[in-house]
């Protein structure tokens, strides 16, 4: 690819969260009904809670929810969930890529892996969101996405259960904006509309 950005066929939103993430997602997902973008979600989660998490996400989301598997062609209005132990990435041609690779950090799935793939394959059509959580997963990937022309949003300290991940993004200079949780759905919708013209 010689470092060229391959444009996605539709806007792609990547959302990453850890501690406090399910509650934050419960606020955002009902607020993005009718979103004309694909949404890829990395939530750090113990494997024994996957089925409950998927069922719960299906109940609270205004969008269709699917567990990412193999190379699925992305569709607007669908939320694709990463499963524990496997990375979720955006691949060429607007497809998900699910890999068992070793973690780039302590986490698998890794937010950094997701956001680096958005930088490479979506570029300016990518929107990255880091929500509440411990550690710094997602910071370097969000910086790559910002440098590729994507929009990068982080949950603000006042509305985060744990501000570690958003703070790491901000410290690295990778956030375009800090957004209160109550306003994050609207911020995502605005970013998607800007890409659709």
**Residue 44 falls in the annotated catalytic set:** yes
Q: Are 149 and 36 in contact (CB under 8 A)?
A: no
Annotated catalytic residue: which of 18, 61, 140, 159? Answer: 18
Catalytic-role residue among 112, 137, 156, 183: 137
Length of the chain: 197
- Strand positions, DSSP E, the chain: 12-17, 38-43, 64-67, 78-81, 87-91, 95-99, 126-130, 151-155, 177-179
Instruction: Respond yes or no: is residue 18 known to be catalytic.
Output: yes
Query: Would you call the peptide bond into 109 cis, given omega within 30 degrees of 0 as the criterion?
Result: yes
User: CB neighbours of 185 closer than 8 A, spacing ≥ 6?
Assistant: 27, 28, 29, 30, 31, 32
The reply to whether 137 belongs to the active site is yes
Catalytic residues: 18, 44, 137
């Amino acid at each position: 690819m010689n470092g060229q950005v391959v444009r996605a066929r539709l806007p792609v939103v990547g959302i990453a969260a850890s501690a406090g993430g399910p509650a934050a997602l419960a606020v955002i997902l009902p607020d993005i009904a009718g979103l004309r973008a694909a949404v890829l979600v990395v939530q750090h989660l113990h494997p024994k809670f996957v089925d409950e998490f998927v069922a719960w996400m299906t109940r609270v989301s205004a969008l269709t929810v699917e567990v990412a598997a193999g190379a699925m062609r992305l569709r607007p209005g669908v939320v694709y969930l990463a499963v524990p132990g496997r990375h979720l990435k955006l691949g060429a041609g607007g497809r998900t890529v699910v890999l068992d690779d070793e973690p780039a950090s302590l986490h698998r799935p890794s937010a950094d892996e997701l956001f680096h793939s958005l930088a490479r394959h979506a570029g300016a059509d990518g929107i990255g969101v880091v929500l509440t959580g411990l550690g710094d997963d997602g910071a370097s990937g969000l910086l790559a996405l910002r440098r590729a022309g994507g929009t990068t949003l982080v949950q603000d300290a006042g509305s985060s259960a744990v501000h570690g991940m958003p703070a790491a993004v901000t410290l690295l200079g990778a956030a375009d904006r800090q957004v209160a949780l109550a306003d994050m759905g609207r911020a995502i919708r605005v970013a998607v509309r800007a890409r659709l013209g």
